[in-house]
Structure 1
Amino acid sequence: MHWDRLFADLEDQFASQREAEHAALESEAERLRVSQLSLHERLMTLAARRGEVTVTFTDGLTTTVAVDACGADWVGLRVRDGGAAYLISPVTAIAEIGMPDYLARQATARPPRPSGVAARTTFGYVLRDLARRRIPVAVVTTSGRVLTGTLDRAGVDHVDLAEHDAGAARRATTVTRTSVVAFATIARVRVVEGAHPA
């Protein structure tokens, strides 16, 4: 009887040790997986959850937004500050994201597989679409400059902005100048929801 109890105790100890080792391996595997996540992948996960976060851009602006969409190299953010605006930002222009702890843990989940179209939609493509639709925008640069007007053309790495007052339609008489803005200097493009083509 004494030996049976000893063997049962040893078996319990071995089982506990195996479970602890298995848990440690799983924990280490999870840490390794998370260490390989990019900011873009975390934004994709937040977009799938429509999580409300506080974003700080490279120009210093901090605002509360819902992550609404994610493309190949950009993110779409719905502003929550009471204004009906939408921000389109290159992922590289996001300096910091603040969120509740539970959402930060959820944002480390495996990102959803992007649809073929979303995975190929680049920042340049989105800007070309805004130019085609003649939607008035405000382009904010990483230095903090705000340029208002209508996008005329978008190249591979730059966009032409016909500058005019935010409330004015894009007409030859209202355009004060055309600025060629490099994508690398754009912190975000603000589109007012319901804005009508210029």
Structure 2
Amino acid sequence: MRWDRFFDDLEEQLASEWEAERAVLDSEAERLRLSRVPLRDRLTVLSEPGAEASPAFELRDGTVLVGRVTGVGADWTALDPAESRAGAVLVPLSAIVSIGMPHPDLLRSARAVAPSPLRERMTLGFAVRDLVRRRVGVTIHLSSGRVLSGTVDRAGVDHLDLALHDPGAPRRAGDVSGHRIVPFEAILWIRLEPGARTL
């Protein structure tokens, strides 16, 4: 009888050690997986249908934008701001300093997403060229603290041409007060006119 109990105890101890070792391996595999997750994948999870999170995005100039993530590209994210009358916002990922959200949303954002070759090609330039095509009025907030309003006339690989005019006004030659070339790296965020939708 004693030997039976002794072997049962050994078997339980071995099973317990095996479970502990497996838990360590699982946690190490999860840490390795998480070490390879880019920010855009975490934002992609927050943009999925049914996601109700409205993270707070702190930008390099101290601005905090609170809104639901509606789209993600290779180097940008689109937000639907919590402000009721605000238009959609495009934010380059490089302008983000931190993102605040409730812990459950933070954990959910870390789950794996399927790779998307299309998302990889949808750069900020791609999104801005869509604004050119649709002739959407924008307000661009620059890292210098300046704010420019107008319509994007052209978009290159790393910059855009902006025709300056009053916010909310249509782009008419007589209402254009000037033109600016704006490098993408100078942009903190772009607000589209209310009612305009991102990609």
Question: Normalising by structure 1, what TM-score?
Answer: 0.92
Structure 1 residue 51 and structure 2 residue 64: aligned? no
Matched residue type, 1:10: L
Same amino acid, percent of matched pairs? 44
Give the equivalent residue in structure 2 for 1:194.
195
Gaps of 5+ in 1: none
Give the equivalent residue in structure 1 for 2:127.
126
Counterparts of 1:194 and 1:85, CA distance in 2? 6
Gaps of 5+ in 2: none
Runs of 4+ in 1 over 6 A off after TM superposition: none
How far apart are residue 118 of structure 1 and its match? 3.1
RMSD: 1.6
Give the equivalent residue in structure 2 for 1:19.
19
Question: Normalising by structure 2, what TM-score?
Answer: 0.92
Q: For 1:113, what is the secondary structure of its paired residue? A: coil
- 1:62-81 alignment to 2 at 5 Å? 62-81=64-83
- Report if aligned partners of 2:132, 2:152 keep a CA contact under 8 Å in 1: yes
How far apart are residue 50 of structure 1 and its match? 5.1
Q: For 1:19, what is the secondary structure of its paired residue? A: helix
Give the equivalent residue in structure 1 for 2:107.
105
Q: For 1:30, what is the secondary structure of its paired residue? A: helix
Counterparts of 2:121 and 2:36, CA distance in 1? 22
Counterparts of 1:98 and 1:80, CA distance in 2? 14
Give the equivalent residue in structure 2 for 1:150.
151
How far apart are residue 159 of structure 1 and its match? 0.3
Paired positions, count: 195
- Report if aligned partners of 2:168, 2:193 keep a CA contact under 8 Å in 1: no
Higher mean Cα deviation, 103-112 or 150-159? 103-112
Q: For 1:173, what is the secondary structure of its paired residue? A: helix
Q: Choose the corresponding residue for 1:82, options 78, 81, 84.
A: 84
